[in-house]
Every structure is written in structure tokens, then in C-alpha cells.
Amino acid sequence: MHPMLNIAVRAARNAGKVIIRSFEQLDKVEIESKGSNDFVTSTDTAAEQAIIETIRNSYPDHTIIGEESGVLTGSNDDYQWIIDPLDGTTNFIKGIPHFAVSIALKVKGKLDQAVIFDPIRGELFTASRGKGAQLNNMRIRVKAHKDLSATILATGFPFKHKQHTKAYMAMFTSLFEKTSDMRRAGSAALDLAYVAAGRVDGFFEIGLKPWDTAAGELLVIEAGGLVTDFTGGHNHTQSGNIVASSTRLLKEILKDIRPHLGEALSK
């Protein structure tokens, strides 16, 4: 295992311990609203701190970009850790056991290492640039379908961007009519990890943040898949609009998304 991936795994497991302890005592978890339908808990903050401390112990000069802490600039900005300590906070608050720790490392602007850890199931998804993707040290690959029939797609509703509901529902309807079924589970990080593992065949969502998708993007790519924005370009980090699947299936998904984009979603 790459030394920096090893640290990312250690950090994810440390955060996982914090999350599991809190999940067993949800009545003691403090919840605050960050914005419309956007929540942060004391567990998010404590898990993020556990990750930061683990990374800083080994790499004190690296930059860290956290969902809760913002940008913690280091003296060596060539290395940027992008972390979401608890992806699926709403599930966590409600006692739904589906959430994950997401940690990615960019080196000179390129995704280099990735970890997504599901502390409930003990599932560890990892990827190193050019070295493939693994689930609990076993190689994983995206499913290579030729078309949408018999596929299951994962998605997320635009609950923070309800102005896009009409466009999203048009995309959903168009895709749903051609697929076997759709899933909306509440954690974009795990959705992407599941694409990489071949558990779902593709994923699309509107308005995500880099910490939601950075680790999952590398997992999908290293598992033989492709990640783009809604136009098939590479602006998803800025726009937050993301599609992930096998190369051939992604073209089919985009065919059903493009007619419903409008100006706001085509950037």
C-alpha cells in the first residue's frame, strides 16, 4: 500500500470509531443547521478533527480541505487532502445506517489516493492512481453494460437546489423508463464506491461539492469507469453536476440528461 494511502486509511478508521460511538448514542449528538436542508453534527466535527490530526501527524506541511474546517493551508500546497468526515449526515441523524468517511489526496492538482470507509459494514474502498481500486483489498471493476436496459442507477435528489427539481425529475423519468430500477440511498461517496464495485451501474447527481466526490471519482476511474459533468466534459468539480459509470453506458446516460439541462445545468 502507498504510504500516503496507508495514512488515509488510518485517518478514515479513526474517524469511523468516532462515528460508531456517536451512532450508538444518537440522543447525545448535537445538531446544527448550516443552511437549507444542510446539517452538521458534533460527530461531523469530531470525526473531521480525528482525520486532520492523523494526517498532520505524518504530513504537517500538507494542505487540508475539509467540509467543516474549510481550507487549512500548509507550506506544501502541492499536496491537498480533501475530506468529508461523514458523508450521509442526514442518514446518520435519522439513525439510517448508511454513511461513510471520504478522504482523497491530490498531488499537483491530480487525484492520487482515495479512501471511502463505511464504518457500519466495515467496508474499505481504496484506490491509488494507476494501481486500480479495491474493496477490502480485493480488486473491483465497474460493470460494462452496452445500454440502459437491466441496469440499476444510483442518484441523489437536489434537496439543496430545489430550483432544479423540474429539470432533475425530467432526467430521472427519462432514465427510469429505460433502466431496471433506480436507487437513492443518501451518500454520494458510497454511490460512487458502489459504481466502482459494480453494485450499481451508474450514478448522477446535481450540485455536489468536491469533498463529496473526490475520493469516489478516483475509485471509479481506477475501477475502469469514467466521471464527467452533465455535458460529458470535466467541469464537475466546479459545477457539482456529476455522472459516473462505464465509458459506454455513460454516453447513454448523457443522452437522457442533455435534453433537460437548460442554461443553469450545462455549465
Query: What are 115's three cell numbers?
Result: 479512501
| 3-state SS class at 15 | helix
Q: What per-residue confidence (pLDDT) applies to 40?
A: 79
DSSP symbols for 180-208: SEEE--S-HHHHHHHHHTTSSSEEEESS-
Q: What per-residue confidence (pLDDT) applies to 159?
A: 80
Dihedrals phi, psi of 124, to nearest 5 degrees = -115, 110
Distance CA 18, CA 20 (A): 6
Walk me through the domains of the chain, giving residue ranges and CATH numbers. Answer: 3-139 (3.30.540.10), 152-262 (3.40.190.80)
Cβ count within 10 A of residue 102: 34
CA distances from 9 to 54, 103, 113, 124, 190 (A): 10, 8, 10, 8, 16
pLDDT (tens, 9 = 90+) of the chain, 267 residues, equals 799 999 999 999 999 999 999 999 988 888 887 665 567 788 999 999 999 999 999 999 999 999 888 999 889 999 999 999 999 999 999 999 999 999 999 999 999 999 999 999 999 999 999 999 999 999 999 999 989 999 999 999 988 778 888 999 999 999 999 999 999 999 999 999 999 999 999 999 999 999 999 999 999 999 999 999 999 999 898 888 999 999 999 999 999 999 988 755 655
Who contacts 221 (Cβ-Cβ below 8 Å, separation ≥6)?
Answer: 111, 127, 227
Q: What per-residue confidence (pLDDT) applies to 164?
A: 85
Model pTM score: 0.95
Distance CA 66, CA 82 (A): 6
